[in-house]
Amino acid sequence: MKKEINGKTKIIGIIGKNIENSLSPLIHNQIILKHSLNFCYLPFQVEDTNLAIAIQGTKALNIRGVNITFPYKVKVIKFLDEVEESARRIGAVNTIVNNKGILTGYNTDVIGFKKSLQDNGKFVIKEKNAVILGAGGAARGVIYTLLEEGIEEISIFNRTLEKAEKIKQDFSLFFPQSSINIFSFEQDNIKDKIEEAHLLVNATSLGMPPKIDNTPLPDEKLFHPDLLVYDLIYHPARTLFLRQAERAGAKIINGLPMLVYQGIESFFLWSGLKVEGKEALEIIRQIAY
């Protein structure tokens, strides 16, 4: 195992808010230790007004790359030199690679979400109905994945309807046959849409610390046993949203597998090393909760 930091150590890290609750430093530094790599992964808490300067700073400090998390996945794009094709289509970036001062944005959330749905949720996306709560950066990755994998119908509920509208507008270009409905949370359709759905995803930040008593669906009667209920939040391990779903007899999955799988892909982009997903997930599960 290599523990020391020296003049050749490559710095990677994560930029966002609520960074003190992120498990990404733990995941990446475990991978680094296990494979004796000369890397170090650091948390960077960045306020909105400092985002541009923080991204430029990665160049100035020769940082090898960073993850981008809540709430900057969409906002960060304008500060990059290049954006990989699928991340550009999605309109959200969660990974930046610094190649000799050229910053390129990628989206590895898509792989993380897809793999976790298949491996951990045992869910076949094709010809199913999904309800997505939220229309931020993470929701964009989730919705893109589902459309790409042939979901039959997606209903997006969001507090700010314009953001859901923009997703529909953007993604209809790439998936013209797709059926995308958009609603605000206040609309009555939520009951019918969840009743018809096979998959219900919380892609809002409601339930994250410090307000862990928040849930995007206060009415517990809306959950049913035929749903796979997925919360992208991984801290706490069981949000109120997941506990509500569990009480209704639904199958649940939290955001940890997605976090680990997207992290492995990001790490590959920075280091060229491909880590075994299941093994990493088990290690992290044991130390994280």
Sites of contact with ligand NAP (CB under 6 A):
70-71, 73-74, 109, 112, 134-139, 158-160, 163, 203-206, 208, 232-234, 255, 258-259, 262
Cα–Cα dist 74/6, whole Å: 34
Residue 40 CB neighbours (<10 A): 16
Point out which residues pair with 11 in neighbouring strands. Answer: 40
Residues with catalytic roles: 73
Nearest to 139 by CA among 80, 81, 216: 216
Cα–Cα dist 289/1, whole Å: 24
Of 59 and 251, the one with the shorter C-beta distance to ligand NAP is: 251
Of 30 and 38, the one with the shorter C-beta distance to ligand NAP is: 30
Q: Vertex 126, ends 121 and 129: CA angle to 5°?
A: 80
Kindly provide the b/e burial profile for residues 1-13, where b requires at least 16 CB atoms within 10 angstroms of the residue's own CB: eeeeeeeeebbbb
CB of 260 to ligand NAP, least distance (A): 8
CB of 166 to ligand NAP, least distance (A): 10
CB of 184 to ligand NAP, least distance (A): 9
Of 109 and 148, the one with the shorter C-beta distance to ligand NAP is: 109
Point out which residues pair with 156 in neighbouring strands. Answer: 132, 182
Taking CA atoms, 93 is separated from 39, 67, 103, 108, in Å, by 22, 8, 12, 8
Of 58 and 145, the one with the shorter C-beta distance to ligand NAP is: 145
CB of 5 to ligand NAP, least distance (A): 27
